[in-house]
Chain A
Amino acid sequence: MIGLKRQLVRKTQYKHKGDTIEREEATTVVDEALAEIGSNGGLTKQTMITQVTDSLYKQLIRAYEERMPTEEGPHSLDEIRGQAFKRFEKLGFPTVKHEDWKYTNVQPLISQNYLLDTSTSQAEVAIGKAAIPNLDTYRVVLVDGIFNAELSSGIDVPGLHILPIQEAFDQLSFAKYFAEYADKTDNPFVALNTALFKSGVFITVTKNSVLEKPIHIIHVASATEPLFTQTRNLYVIEANAEAELIESFITEDNAANNLNSLVSEIVVHENAKLHHYYLQLAGKQSSYINHTEIYQKKYSLYNNYNCSFPGSAFVRNNINVRLDDSQVESHLYGVTLTAGNQFVDNHTVVDHLKPHCESYEWYKNITQDTSTAVFNGKIFVRLDAQKTNAFQQNNNMLIGEKSAIYTKPQLEIFADDVKCSHGCTIGQFDNQALFYLRSRGISEAQARVLLVHAFAFDVTNRFANATVRKYVEHLVEQGLENG
């Protein structure tokens, strides 16, 4: 919307004020805005691939059958895995016929051959690519999903418990939350992950603890043979605790192709606060299918800042927030800058289940070259969720003449006394603005950087951590060609 010629603007406002609306108590309002724009006609980009190669599928079935029952864990983990696997078998991998995967064709990814074990992971990896200048953190490094104690540092602090997930199975607090949230969705990758994940971390920020530094989880893809990883995380922020969590994704230069499925379940307890950053910086060999399920309790705050940059060939993020108590606040921010032939898809769900909650979502996409970005944001306001305040906005800037953007903001309201709004815009560089800047001596490249910064500003200016914000602005600059 900024520095943009508006080609498409859509805004819908709903204000239902209890009595003033006749014959509309407990109304269901379903609203969908669908915009598909691409100079190549948009729709041709993701053509359906009918050939179904199920080598990975067969491999996974075999892996499941051959797996060893967990020895140390409670018996129920095997049960959970068993049920999850049945679900996966029933669902199968998604195809573009599924509404949620309409633009996101995973067939080319799953029809490749992968190792399922980390036998070709590298012992020595460089984590410099994930370094955030001037930021002191508690560092957690996962190499191909496996916790690496040598590379991790400074995590032995009061109030913070970090355990490789394999070692957490016997913990009560783990059993209480594990697979309680993400598995309620119909995402086949979650079912598969629950059934077969091998590694990940279980993080607890204990009651009343306010962490001094952010936790920085660095996910490194390193295997020198094609690898399919399934990583599982559980983060529990206990009552009154406060934490910042930054997750960076990077790839070793000499890594082979890899496909990574990460499922993270997050529980934010009463009056707790979590600021959660995703910084997608991986190389083009790496592809990701991530699912984050957040469950919030009373008076809690969860902020997600989801940033993707040029690199990774394929990224799908599902981020679902369940506001299952009153007085909950959630913010979802996104900045996606794509280049080359990248594909980045962000699917979010904000689920208002109880009254007096507030959610705020703002995603910005900037596409260069022949890349594709997808945004799908669903807001549900359930029958109980009176006095909900929900805002959603998605703005898109098509820079590449052959880039494409698919955006679909959705709002489903079942309560009658709520305040909700959503809207989306799609535009290009504003040539007037560009010329104005250049006519003052600013180079074209720098002018573009200024305009893209301006475009992303509504989102970046809301980053709680100023150092991360600066870093992200720098990454945006770096990610713009000629920038």
Chain B
Amino acid sequence: MLSIKKLHAEVEGKEILKGLDLEINAGEVHAIMGPNGSGKSTLGNVLAGRESYEVTEGEVLLDGRDLLELSPEDRAREGVFLAFQYPVEIPGVSNINFLKTAINEIREYKGLPPVEARDFLNMVKEKQKLVEFEAKLANRSLNEGFSGGEKKRNEIFQLAMLQPKLAILDETDSGLDIDALRIVARGVNQLRSKDNAFIVITHYQRLLEYIVPDFVHVLYNGRIVRSGTKELALELEEKGYDWIKETAGAENAI
């Protein structure tokens, strides 16, 4: 589904991704771990199309389509969804209005008519239940005054509403209490199917107990330096990153 080859990207002239390779098939969940500042969020932002991140080399294909050529909105319409590490507050834009606009623009892109008001409301109800997100959305502004955890839950709620092909969760677990973590994980698990894929960026093995990944990758210094199965996450939890840094450093030296 997603094929990333030799991806180089920079921010403000500073190279952050330095030749990143990653292959993801439909139905898979990939966890990405790695020390602070290694480039995990950068990868998410590059995939979502944030303009301040400049791709200098490499290619990203989504089902064979060149993703890097598309505007952020077209990527979303093609099925890319980034659950932000720090969702922004947008006062004055109502949650519901925003979601409806997004869904209808995605539908229009796919040649579908606008969603029926009743279907939309039913879907909102159903998905809110899925992530046990009780906030009264109708008359509240997008993320305004939401607690950290509510913002994260709202991201997963949006994910459930938009049903993307490829979802990237950037530290969705940070700031969630244990119950919320379970709820979010359960939501994600219910959304998993053979047609979609997830990239789960996290620092903690705990999340991966709930959302069990098919693969775990370690991103360090702008590259994937190690890949494995879920046992790799346990090993990292135990040993930290130093041994990875050492071996990666050695590889770089060669």
* A→B interface (CB under 8 Å): 1-3, 430, 432-433, 435-444, 446-447, 450-451, 453-455, 457-458
Contact = CB atoms under 8 A, between A and B. Distances in A.
Given A2-B91, A457-B92, A435 B101 contact: no
B88 A438 contact: no
A3 B90 contact: yes
Q: Kindly name the residue among B50, B72, B101 whose own CB sees the greatest number of chain A CB atoms within 10 A.
A: B72
Contact of A436 (B90, B97, B105): B90
B76 A439 contact: yes
Given A440-B98, A443-B105, A450-B93, A435 B76 contact: no
Given A435-B51, A435-B72, A436-B87, A441 B106 contact: yes
A440 B76 contact: yes
Interface in B92-120: 92-93, 97-99, 101-103, 105-106, 109
Contacts of A451: 90, 92-93
A342 to B, nearest CB: 24
Contacts of A453: 92-93
B200 interface: no
B88 A436 contact: yes
B92 A455 contact: yes
Contacts, number: 85
B90 A446 contact: no
B87 A441 contact: no
A318 to B, nearest CB: 29
B92 A3 contact: yes
A435 B82 CA distance: 11
Indicate the size class of the contact surface on chain B: 20 to 34
B55 interface: no
Contacts of B102: 437, 440-442
A454 B77 contact: no
A439 B82 contact: yes
Contacts of A457: 92
B186 to A, nearest CB: 23
Given A3-B90, A440-B102, A453-B92, 9 more contacts: A3-B93, A439-B72, A439-B82, A440-B158, A441-B109, A442-B101, A447-B73, A450-B97, A457-B92
B91 to A, nearest CB: 5
Q: Kindly name the residue among A438, A443, A447, A458 whose own CB sees the greatest number of chain B CB atoms within 10 A.
A: A438
A211 B97 CA distance: 34
Given A440-B162, A441-B109, A450 B98 contact: yes
14 contacts: A430-B88, A438-B49, A438-B72, A438-B76, A440-B162, A441-B73, A442-B73, A442-B102, A442-B105, A443-B73, A446-B101, A450-B90, A457-B92, A458-B92
B98 to A, nearest CB: 7
A36 B84 CA distance: 36
Q: Kindly name the residue among A2, A441, A454 whose own CB sees the greatest number of chain B CB atoms within 10 A.
A: A441
Interface in B63-99: 71-73, 75-77, 81-82, 84, 87-88, 90-93, 97-99
A252 to B, nearest CB: 36
A454 B91 contact: yes
Contact of A432 (B88, B91, B105): B88
Contacts of A444: 71, 73
Contacts of A450: 90, 93, 97-98, 101
A229 B49 CA distance: 54
B105 A446 contact: yes
B48 interface: yes
B91 A3 contact: yes
A457 B90 CA distance: 12
Q: Which 4 A-B pairs have the closest CB atoms?
A: A454-B92, A441-B76, A457-B92, A438-B72
B71 A435 contact: no
Contacts of B106: 441
Nearest to B77: A441
Nearest to A440: B102
A235 B50 CA distance: 54
A432 B84 CA distance: 11
Given A439-B82, A450-B101, A433 B90 contact: yes
Contacts of B75: 439
A457 B91 CA distance: 9
Contacts of B158: 440
A458 B91 CA distance: 10
Contacts of B92: 2-3, 451, 453-455, 457-458
Contacts of B77: 441
A442 B90 CA distance: 14
A450 B90 CA distance: 10
A441 B75 CA distance: 7
Nearest to B90: A433
A436 B71 contact: no
Contacts of A440: 76, 81, 98-99, 102, 158, 162
A172 to B, nearest CB: 49
A440 B160 CA distance: 12
